[in-house]
Structure 1
Amino acid sequence: MKLYIKMPNKLIPFYQKELEMVKDNLKQDNLQNAWLHLERAHIIGQKYPYEHSFVHWKMLQFGIKIKSTKEVVGQIPRLLVGGVKSFVGHIPVGNTGGANVPPLKTMEIPEDIQEILKLNA
């Protein structure tokens, strides 16, 4: 069993760029694009406990901002368990992390993110 502790340095800029895009889109009140970038950050960071948990924290805050009970309630268990699952290498690959998808569902990774992950593996 492989333990994932730290995100590789080469991957960090891609993860951070997605989070910056979240901030930029929130400033412009473009909620749909902000959410898309949260999902992308989740896919990139889901193998790594801190980054995985941080995205769920941001998703919880987003749910509060848009007053979505479903998102808030859906993020709480993900926030509590996501990092642990990352640590032990047991994640549903490609899952976008929102309450709109089952937490254990494996999903297809967008092609550009597949390339990022391949280059930085």
Structure 2
Amino acid sequence: MPKHNRSRLVDRELSQFASARYEGDVAGAWRALERAHILGQTVILLHFVVHMRMLSFALQTRDFRETGGQLFRLALIPIGHALRRLPSGNTGRSDVSAFAIMPVPKDVAVELAQD
């Protein structure tokens, strides 16, 4: 069974995350996770997987503010999907409101339009 395009896009960003994390590039790792979030947030399983990676990375980097933010966002996932309240472009990080609509990076917008 062919893998859904959205899943492939998220996998690509998660691969970028793993590479950046391995290289010790914390900012690059978060950037890849944010992009994965934007790409996957409308698919509940992908949304959950990305937030779990964010939670794990927050714990690994001992960022307890981010850890709390990720726990909150994980609890919101089912509610957001049930109510269809998923703010486009939101990076999924704790430094922005979980409800804020944000600009989608141009290259990501192109990929989303092709999906």
Q: TM-score range, shorter-chain basis?
A: over 0.9
Unaligned runs of 5+ in 1: 1-7
Q: Is residue 2:81 matched to residue 1:86?
A: yes
The separation in 2 between residues aligned to 1:87 and 1:15, in whole angstroms, is 22
Instruction: Report the number of matched residues.
Output: 113
SS in structure 1 at match of 2:5:
coil
**Cα distance in 2 between the residues matched to 1:87 and 1:38:** 23
- Taking the aligned partners of 1:75 and 1:33, their CA distance within structure 2 comes to 18
> What is the SS of the residue equivalent to 1:61?
helix
Q: Which amino acid aligns with 1:57?
A: M
Distance in 1, Cα, partners of 2:38 & 2:82: 15
Matching residue's letter, 1:54: V
Q: Which structure is higher in RCO with an 8 Å CA cutoff and minimum separation 6? A: 1
Does structure 1 conserve the Cα–Cα contact (< 8 Å) formed by 2:14 and 2:33?
A: yes
Q: Which runs of 5+ in 2 are unaligned?
A: none
Runs of 4+ deviating beyond 4 Å: none
TM-score (norm. length: structure 2):
0.92
- Looking at structure 2, the residues matched to 86 and 117 of structure 1 have their Cα atoms a distance apart, in angstroms, of 18
1:15 aligns with 2:10: yes
Q: Which amino acid aligns with 1:114?
A: A
Aligned-residue Cα RMSD (Å) equals 1.3
2:7–2:46 contact (8 Å) kept in structure 1: no
TM-score under structure 1 normalisation? 0.88
CA 22–59 in structure 1, closer or farther in 2 if over 3 Å, else same = same
Give the alignment of 1:1-121 within 5 angstroms: 9-120=4-115
Moved more, 80-89 or 100-109: 80-89
Q: 1:80, CA displacement in angstroms? A: 1.6
Checking the alignment, whether the CA contact within 8 Å between 2:41 and 2:86 is kept in structure 1 is yes
